[in-house]
Structure 1
Amino acid sequence: MDDIRKRFSKFWGKTNTLMMVKPTPPFDFLMQIPEKFQNCLKHLEQSQKHQNIQDSETSMFLKNHGFDSVMDASLEKQLQAWKENPTWVDHPPEIKVSVPKGSLCNLNVKFEVGLPPDAVYNIVTDPENKRVFKNIKEVISRRVMVNEGQRQVVEVEQAALWRFLWWSGVMLVHVFVDQNRKDHTVKFKQGKAGFMKRFEGAWKIDSNFVDKDHSFPFEPKTITDYELCSNGKGRIGSVVHLQQLVEPALLPPPPISWYLRGITTRTVEMLITDLRSEAARIRGVEHVDFVAEFHKSHLDCVDSTKSYPGEKLKERWHERRKMRRHKRKRLPPL
C-alpha cells in the first residue's frame, strides 16, 4: 500500500511539473486561436460599420446629384475629364475583308473612339440610336426577352436603307441582340430569314488609357490604378472591335458581288463616322465635317480576294451605256 502511494505521489508530482512547463509553439498557437478569432470579429465589425457609412455617403451623393448608380457617377467623372480636355485625333480604322466560302464577305474592323467604353456601349445599345446612325430609317419593333441587369437579350426589327447603283430602297432586318455591359460586348444574329441568309457579328469595346504617359514609370493595368496614377485626371477612351458576316440568300456572281462587297464596307465606314461624330458631340467639340475628313483619309483595307472597286465598276457601266447609245445613233436609217 505504501508502495502504491509512493508511485502515485511521484506521478502526481510529474503531472504538476508538466502543467507548469511553458507550452511548446504548436500548443501556444492553439491557445491563441480564441483571442485571434475575437480580434478578427472586431475587425470585421469595424469594417462593416465603415462600409455602411461609405455606402450611406455614396447613396446620399448619388441622390443629390441625380445619379442612379455608382456606374453612372463613374461615367460622369470620366466624361468630365474629356470635357476639360477634348483634344482627340480620329485615326483611320483598320478594316480587313475576307470572303468565306458561300458568303459575300466577313469584315473585321478595329478603330478608336474618344469616349469611355460605357459611353460607347450606351450609343450602340440605345433603342433610339437611329438618331446617330443614318442608315437606320426606323425601328419597327423592340422586345426585351431576357433582362439580367447588366445583360439583356433583345429582339429587334428595323428598316435599313440600301443603295445599289441607280436604285435605292429599304430592307427589313430582324436580329436577336445579346448585350452585356459587364464585358462591353454586343452580339447580334439574324432571326427571320429574308434577303439575308446569314447576318451576324459582334461588338467588343475595350478600355484605352489615353493619358497613361503621364503615369510613367508606372504601367496601370486597371482603371482604378490608372485613376490613382493620374490623380483622377486621366482620360479613358475606347478601342472598338467589330466583326460582321454577311451572306445573302442568293449570292450574285461577279462583278455584282464585288460591288455589293464594296457597299457593305462603305456602310460600316459610315457607321464608324456616325459613331465618332456623336462622340465628338458628347465631348463638347464644335461641329466637324467628319464625312469630308473620312473620305480624305486612307483606310487600311486588306481584301483577301481580287475585288473590283465599286466606284470604278459604276463608271465602267456608265461608259458602256454611253457606247451603246452612241452606236445606236450611228446606225443608218432603214
Structure 2
Amino acid sequence: MEIGMLPISASKRGKLLAAGYTTLNAISRTSTTILAREIEVSESEASEILKFATKTSALDRSSGSNTNIIDGGQTAWDMLNEERYSSLVTTSCVDLDNILGGGISCKEVTEIGGVPGIGKTQIGIQLAVNVQIPLDYGGLGGKAIYIDTEGSFMVERVLQIAEACIEDMSEYSHHFHKDNQAYVVKMHPNSILENIFYFRVCSYTEQIALVNYLDKFITEHKDVKIIIIDSVTFHFRQDFDDMALRTRLLGEMSLKFMKLARNFSLAVVMLNQVTTKHIEGSFQLTLALGDSWSHSCTNRIILYWNGDERHAYIDKSPSLKSASAPYSVTSRGIRNCNSTSNSKRIKMV
C-alpha cells in the first residue's frame, strides 16, 4: 500500500484510507484545506502529510522503478483493509442497504436494471442526493455527476427528495443530540441541487466523449463521490448496425468507468433497461446488452415486481450474497416498505 510509505501514525493512515486516499498521487493532487477537512486533522498536520506524500511520490518517480509503469503490487492484506474502510452511499431504504452491506460501495461499478416504472431513475436521484449527507451524519459529504441519456431527470423531483433528506437529518439530530438543544442542519435544498453536475447526452458519440472527459472533470472537482448514468444502454440500442463497433465502444466505456471508480475512490452506478430473450422456447425479460455486458460491472442488481411490491435482487457480486429485499418509491424518495421490514430471498422468474 503506497500510504504505508508515509512516516505518519497508523490512525492517520486509517483516516486517509477512510477518505479514499490510497495512493501518494491522490494525496499530492489535493490541497491542504481539503485534506484537513476530509481526514479531520488540523491544517498544519495536513500540510505535513501533503509534504511527505509529494516528496515520497517524487522520489518514486525519479527511481524509475516499474511501479511507475504498472499500478498494483498490493498485498491481499492491504486490499482487505481498504475494503474495511470502503465508503458507502445509503439508498435510504434500510432493507436494501442491509443486503448491499450498508449501501452502494465506492471504488466499484454497480449496475441497476429493471422494467419501466420500477424506480431506476428514482434510485439514481436518491443516490445523487444521499452522497451529499455530511460526515457528521455518516455520509460522504460529496458531490454527484448525473448523466442523463433518456431525458428522465426531473429537477423538481430532486428538490423534493433533497427537502426530505434534510428533514430526516434534522429529525436524527434532534433525537440524538445529547444537550437537547435545537441543532440546525447546515444544509439547504438549493445547495444540494448545486452539488449535482448534470450532463444531458443525445447520442452515443456524445456519451463516449463525455466519459472520456470525466477524468479531467473529476480531477478539477475532487469532491465528486458518485457517477450515475441513466441509462447506460439507451443510445447503444438505437439504429446500431455495426455490432462489432458497438461491442468495442461498450467495452472501452465500461473499462473507463472501472478506472474512474478505482482511481478516484467513487461509486459508479449504471442504470440499465430490459429486453426480451428467447430461453427454452419462451421469451423472458433480461437486462439489455446481453450476458457479456454483465462483466462490465462489479455488482448487478435487478429490480422487479413481486405482486404489488417492488423488490431488488442481487444477481451478481463478488462479495455480497444473492438476496432480495423490498423497497418503496414514496413522495420522500426511496424508503422501506410499510408491510415488511425483513429482507427475504425470492426466486427470480
User: Is TM > 0.5 for Structure 1 vs Structure 2?
Assistant: no
TM-score by length of 1: 0.24
Q: Which has the higher contact order (CA 8 A, sep 6+)?
A: 2
TM-score by structure 2 length? 0.23
Q: Which has the higher Rg, Structure 1 or Structure 2?
A: 1
Give 1 or 2: higher strand fraction: 1
